[in-house]
Structures are given as structure tokens and as C-alpha cells.
């Protein structure tokens, strides 16, 4: 086998120019494919991670029907013992109780609609790392409000100023309260950053006249891949009257957008790979046709056709493998640099990204799966391209080939 | 003792609109250790007859018995193995593997035969030295002259110690000096190893030294003379 591999490798370099052109075409295609997929993957991952980490968590427990009709009247109560049981489930890292609703927030003549999240400050910090996102003042504490920088800017407020919240409370009561701003935080997602205000859970329950009531118990898991199993455990712990939704269901628009965008990416990839396949195939066909006589001689002197087919098979594999390795090796340092230093977007491009919930920057993913996928696809191309010479060899008649 | 025997061997090519009979009912036998030439004008069927005897081409009719084997009874795969174990080929155009060195070219068939590496290296070196290329073992075909390449081709055919050497116009591209050296070498191998040599040629330098001349005309044996 080593001799056959050696022979295949040397055959590859008999026509250096042709081999290099083929390798270059594979290199360019793999590099471009990796570039496209790396940017897409990083964008998707970041958007989903932001959505899960900053907003929905992996799982949320609600009162049944809440997600379809998000009103304060569909809040729930959960016994402390049940919450503790859920928090103790092996894969549950954090179980954050939240009371979320809307309110008009005003300061002087300025008024704005805002999403108010009442939460346990310490548990929330474990869920969203909210403390790290504070850019001014201090972290959330009972009696105060932590305001997103977009809201603070709009209302021209800062730490120490007071905001007034006005909304509808539980069962039609009026929700009204004034809270000093203890800190201003900044989220990477513009939509969240322009609308969010955090209060301590007790303060929010008091504001909305909903003592001990929650809109959700938001769960962050240690391993998101085991989501379904964990969900089943949570459902079993809760009993009737609750709904436990996975993040995919709560971020349906984002997931659907990613799916459709991903299909576009796959179509582009397919076009790229068709071009590569033709390049490799053309090269292999030329290599095969111009060596028919040589193949005839090799079979004549006693080389089995199967072994000859193995040689040309390896040639096909090598020519694509060299291109894949070169493309991947070329891509890794560039992607690593831009992964650490994303290219920021400004203006309309940034707005368009933010409108879809994506961070306004070109990010790069270094997921090894991306590289393995490209290697697998090109390996398939090489295998398909190798069918033709293998077919020629297996149907070769030595005497006729030598007469050619 | 006959080691090659053909009975009413016939080959008709019907690939084009008009069928062409290349070999037409040839019955011949060759004894072990013969040094024989097939001669005749171009298109008289020399190469086709050699190809059928070497198991490269299937006869349309008749049989070729080589050693104790009726080649018509072998499958395509068995024919490849038969050639590997029994027949050495030397072609007009050398047909060496261009990416292998002289030594690797000679080793290749022995390697396919499963000969241990040490033994085949020693044998390749020995035969290449015998054909006067002991100092060009690691040269690739493109670095050798036509005469040297043909000597490598002969070494490749001889090294596995085949029962027969089939040589199709082996000297057609060689100058007089190379032809003389090559023939001397093949005659010596023929004498010492008792290998049967079967040539097709137009070259008088070869026919003058052959011990048997079979003349073909229009695919038939016109004359068969022993010297």
C-alpha cells in the first residue's frame, strides 16, 4: 500500500502546474467557504447566546398560556420547595425567579415604554452576568432601579436621578412607583438596551401588586445539549398548570431567521463546491486520459486493476486534501485574529444587524466543526471525482490501451 | 519440451465498420530457452500474436497454452496474476513508470509479487548492474538516454526471473551500440537462465542473432526457420 501511495503522490507532481492550479482552486473555495460559514456561525451563535443568556435562559417555567398572552394577570406562584427542587436538578445551573411586565417610564417631560424585570439581584447576576454590564453607578439593590443605557440616554438621566414607573398591575390595579437609579448597564443587543429596567423582585411585586407572583422561573443549564431531558425533569417536578418552554420556542423569530439565512449560506456553499468539483474532476479526467497507455502497461506487467484504481483514487484524494489543508491552515490565523478583534459595523449595516438581534460587528467562529465539515465535503468531492478514473481503470483493456 | 503452444489462433478486430483479421489460424510451438523472432511487414500480426501469447489480448478463435496453462480458461484477474508470475514484457517505447527511479521501476513487479523488500532491492541492484546501470540506480527515466531506459525495461522484465520474455520491437528506438549491448545482455540471460525470449522485430541486428525466425504475412505463418 505504501508503494501505491508513494506512486500516487509522485504522479500528482508530474504536471506541477496543473496540480497547483487544482490545489489553488480547492484552496480558494475552502477558504471562502470557511470564511462565509465562520462569519455566519459566529453571528448565529452570538445572537442565540445573547438571546439565551441575556433574556430567555435555556428554559422558562410559566403559568400555562402565559407565553401566548403575556399579561401580568397570567402570573404564577411556585412553592419555595418546588423552586428548590428545580434548582437542585443536576443540569440546572441557575433558576432565576422573575416578574416581568411593561411600564411607562418618565422623567420630567420625557416618557418611554420600558420592559421592567423584577428579579433576585444575585441570582440574576449568575444568569446574565448583569453586574459586569454596569457601566455607571452600582449594581441592582432593593429599592433602586438598574436602567439600560439606551433608556437612560433617552430620558437624559443618570445615577442618582429618579424614574417614575406607571403601568397596569395585577388584576387591573394601577402600578406606580418612583425609584432612584442606582446604576446604568449596557447590553450588546440594541433592542434590549433601549428598553430594559431591572428592579429587585420584591419591589416589582409590590409595584405590580402581585406579591409572591412570578411571570417566569428562568433556568440556565450547565449543558444546553441536554435541554430536553432536563425539561422533562422540570415538568415532572412542577405538576399541572405550568408550561416549560425551551429557548428555541421563545426565540422563534430569531431561530427561523437563522434557519432561512443558513439555507442561503448552504446554497452559496453548494455553488462554490460545484465549482471546486468541476475543477478537481477536470484535472482528474486529464490525468486519466493522458495516462491510458501507461495504465495499460502497468496492467500488462501484472498490476491488478484494483490496485491501479487505488493509485488514481489516492491521487484524487491528495489533490483535494492538499487544497483543504492549505485553505484551513491559511484561514486559521486570519480567523483567530478577527475572532479576537471583530470588525465593527457602523451606520445602516449596524442598524440592520441590530434589527435582527445580531451584534453590530463581523464576528468569526473558530469552531473545529466548521473545518471538519469542509474537509468532509471536499473528501466527498474527491471520492466522486475518483469514480471516473476508477471506472476507466476497471474497464481497461491493457492491449487496447497500449495501442492508443 | 514445448513451453508455448498456439493452436489455430485467430484474432479479428471488429471495432471499426470493416472487420480486420490480424492473426489468422496460427499454430506454433516454442521450446524452453528459445531465442526466437517474429518478423514480417507492419500489420502482419506480430504484436497481436505476442499479445495473445502474453495473455494481453483474447483470441477470437483457437487457444494459446503457455506453460501448462490454457490462457482462454483464465479470468481477467487470473490473467493479470499469470503475467505477473510468468511473463516479462519489454516494449518498444520502454514504458517505464516516469515517477519511479530505475531501481524502483525494477523493484515494482517484484514488489507486486510479494517479494520481501531486502531481497527485491538486492535483486534490482544486481540486475541493473548486470545491464550496466549500476551507477544510475537512482536516476529517473527522464534522466536516462533511450538506450539506458530500454536497459532498465529489460532489467524490469528479467529481475523477477520470468519463464518468458516477450519483447515487442525492443530495439526500434535504439542506436547500433545500444542495440548490440542489449542483445548481448539478453542472449547471456537466455543462455544462463534458460529464459525463453520471443521478439517481434523489423530490426536486422536482432534477426541476425536470433536462433529461430518465424515470418508472418497477412496474419499467417509464411516461414518458420531454425538456425
* pLDDT (tens digit per residue) in A170-228: 988 899 999 999 999 998 777 888 999 999 999 999 999 999 999 999 999 998 888 99
A74 interfacial to chain B (CB closer than 8 Å): no
CB-CB under 8 Å, A305 with B112: no
A362 interfacial to chain B (CB closer than 8 Å): no
Taking a C-beta distance cutoff of 8 angstroms, is the pair B19, B3 a contact?
A: no
| Per-residue pLDDT, B154 | 86
Which range, A43-52, A240-249, A319-328, B15-24, has the best average confidence (pLDDT)?
A: A240-249
The distance of A323 to chain B (nearest Cα, Å) reads: 22
Residue range B2-226, CATH number:
3.40.50.300
Residues present in chain B in total: 227
Helix, strand or coil, per DSSP, at residue B221: strand
Tally A–B CB contacts below 8 A. 56
A396 interfacial to chain B (CB closer than 8 Å): no
All three cell numbers of A48, joined, read 442565540
Question: Residue A344 forms beta bridges with which residues?
Answer: A361
Mean pLDDT of B47-58: 90
Q: Which of B77, B97, B156 sits opposite A304 (nearest CB)?
A: B77
Q: What is the largest CA-CA distance in chain A?
A: 98
Neighbouring C-beta atoms of residue B75, cutoff 10 Å: 8
| Per-residue pLDDT, A121 | 95
Q: Using an 8 Å CB-CB cutoff, list chain B residues near A13.
A: 99
Q: Using an 8 Å CB-CB cutoff, list chain A residues near B150.
A: none
Taking a C-beta distance cutoff of 8 angstroms, is the pair A56, A378 a contact?
A: no
More confident residue, B120 or B99: B120
| Per-residue pLDDT, B170 | 84
Tens of pLDDT, residues B9-47: 999 988 667 888 999 999 999 999 999 999 999 889 999
Taking a C-beta distance cutoff of 8 angstroms, is the pair B217, B41 a contact?
A: yes
- What residue ranges do the domains of chain A occupy? 2-51+254-403, 65-240
For cell 471538519, the residue is A372
Express the helix, strand and coil content of chain A in percent, nearest 5 each.
60, 20, 20
Q: Using an 8 Å CB-CB cutoff, list chain A residues near B77.
A: 304-305
| Per-residue pLDDT, A404 | 65
> Hey, what's the torsion of the CAs at A181, A182, A186, A191, to 10 degrees?
-40
Mean pLDDT of B136-150: 91
B108 interfacial to chain A (CB closer than 8 Å): yes
Mean pLDDT of A253-266: 87
CA distance A211 to A361: 42
The percent of residues above 70 in pLDDT, for chain B, comes to 99
B177 interfacial to chain A (CB closer than 8 Å): no
CB-CB under 8 Å, B80 with A3: no
Q: Which residues of A325-342 are buried (b: 16+ CB within 10 A; e: fewer)?
A: ebbbeebeeebeebeeeb
B100 interfacial to chain A (CB closer than 8 Å): yes
Select from A291, A293, A299, A300 the residue whose CB has the most chain B CBs within 10 Å, as the one to mutate to test that interface.
Answer: A300
B60 interfacial to chain A (CB closer than 8 Å): no
CB-CB under 8 Å, A10 with B54: no
Amino acid at each position: 500500500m505504501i508503494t501505491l501511495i508513494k506512486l500516487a503522490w509522485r504522479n500528482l507532481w508530474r504536471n506541477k502546474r496543473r496540480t497547483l492550479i487544482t490545489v489553488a482552486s480547492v484552496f480558494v473555495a475552502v477558504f471562502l467557504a470557511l470564511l462565509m460559514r465562520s462569519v455566519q456561525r459566529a453571528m448565529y451563535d452570538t445572537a442565540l447566546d445573547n438571546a439565551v443568556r441575556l433574556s430567555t435562559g435555556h428554559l422558562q417555567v410559566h403559568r400555562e398560556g402565559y407565553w401566548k398572552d403575556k399579561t401580568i394577570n397570567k402570573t404564577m406562584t411556585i412553592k419555595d420547595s418546588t423552586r428548590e427542587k428545580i434548582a437542585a436538578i443536576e443540569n440546572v445551573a441557575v433558576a432565576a425567579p422573575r416578574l416581568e411586565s411593561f411600564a411607562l417610564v418618565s422623567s420630567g417631560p420625557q416618557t418611554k415604554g420600558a420592559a421592567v424585570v423584577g428579579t433576585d439581584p444575585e441570582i440574576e447576576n449568575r444568569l446574565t452576568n448583569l453586574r459586569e454590564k454596569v457601566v455607571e453607578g452600582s449594581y441592582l439593590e432593593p429599592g433602586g432601579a438598574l436602567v439600560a443605557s439606551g433608556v437612560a440616554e433617552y430620558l437624559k438621566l443618570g445615577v442618582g436621578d429618579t424614574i417614575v414607573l406607571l403601568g397596569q398591575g395585577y388584576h387591573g390595579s394601577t402600578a406606580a412607583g418612583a425609584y432612584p437609579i442606582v446604576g446604568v448597564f449596557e447590553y450588546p443587543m440594541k433592542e434590549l438596551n433601549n428598553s430594559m429596567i431591572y428592579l429587585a423582585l420584591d419591589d416589582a411585586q409590590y409595584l405590580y401588586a402581585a406579591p409572591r407572583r412570578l411571570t417566569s422561573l428562568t433556568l440556565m443549564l450547565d449543558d444546553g445539549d441536554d435541554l430536553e431531558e432536563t425539561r422533562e425533569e422540570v415538568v415532572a417536578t412542577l405538576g399541572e398548570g405550568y408550561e416549560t418552554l425551551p429557548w428555541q420556542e421563545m426565540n422563534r423569530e430569531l431561530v427561523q431567521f437563522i434557519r432561512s439565512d443558513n439555507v442561503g449560506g448552504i446554497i452559496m456553499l453548494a455553488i462554490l463546491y460545484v465549482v471546486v468539483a468541476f475543477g478537481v474532476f477536470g484535472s482528474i479526467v486529464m490525468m486519466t486520459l493522458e495516462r491510458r497507455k501507461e495504465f495499460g502497461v502497468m496492467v500488462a506487467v501484472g498490476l491488478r486493476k484494483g490496485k491501479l484504481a487505488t493509485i488514481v483514487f489516492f491521487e484524487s484524494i491528495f489533490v483535494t486534501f492538499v487544497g483543504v489543508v492549505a485553505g484551513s491552515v491559511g484561514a486559521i490565523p486570519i480567523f483567530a485574529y478577527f475572532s479576537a478583534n471583530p470588525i465593527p459595523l457602523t451606520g445602516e449595516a449596524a442598524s440592520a444587524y441590530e434589527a435582527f438581534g445580531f451584534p453590530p460587528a463581523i464576528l468569526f467562529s473558530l469552531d473545529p466543526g466548521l473545518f471538519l465539515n469542509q474537509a468532509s465535503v471536499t473528501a466527498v468531492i474527491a471520492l466522486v471525482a475518483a469514480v471516473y478514473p476508477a471506472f476507466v481503470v476497471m474497464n481497461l483493456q491493457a492491449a487496447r490501451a497500449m495501442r492508443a | 519440451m514445448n513451453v508455448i503452444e498456439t493452436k489455430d489462433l485467430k484474432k479479428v478486430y471488429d471495432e471499426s465498420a470493416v472487420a480486420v483479421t490480424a492473426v489468422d489460424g496460427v499454430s506454433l510451438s516454442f521450446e524452453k530457452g528459445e531465442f526466437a523472432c517474429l518478423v514480417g511487414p507492419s500489420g502482419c500480426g506480430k504484436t497481436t500474436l505476442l499479445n495473445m501469447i502474453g495473455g494481453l489480448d483474447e483470441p477470437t478463435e483457437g487457444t494459446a497454452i503457455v506453460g501448462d496453462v490454457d490462457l482462454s480458461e483464465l479470468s481477467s484477474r487470473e490473467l493479470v496474476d499469470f503475467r505477473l508470475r510468468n511473463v516479462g514484457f519489454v516494449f518498444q517505447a520502454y514504458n517505464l513508470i516516469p515517477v519511479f527511479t530505475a531501481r524502483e521501476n525494477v523493484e515494482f513487479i517484484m514488489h507486486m509479487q510479494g517479494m520481501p523488500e531486502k531481497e527485491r532491492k538486492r535483486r534490482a541492484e544486481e540486475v541493473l548492474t548486470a545491464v550496466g546501470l549500476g551507477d544510475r540506480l537512482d536516476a529517473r527515466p527522464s534522466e536516462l538516454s533511450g538506450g539506458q531506459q530500454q536497459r532498465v525495461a529489460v532489467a524490469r522484465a528479467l529481475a523477477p526471473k520470468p519463464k518468458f520474455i516477450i519483447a515487442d520491437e525492443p530495439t526500434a528506438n535504439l542506436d547500433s551500440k545500444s542495440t548490440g549491448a542489449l542483445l548481448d545482455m539478453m542472449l547471456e540471460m537466455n543462455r544462463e537462465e534458460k529464459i525463453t525470449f520471443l521478439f517481434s522485430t523489423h530490426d536486422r541486428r536482432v534477426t541476425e542473432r536470433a536462433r529461430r525466425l518465424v515470418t508472418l504475412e497477412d496474419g499467417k505463418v509464411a516461414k518458420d526457420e531454425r538456425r
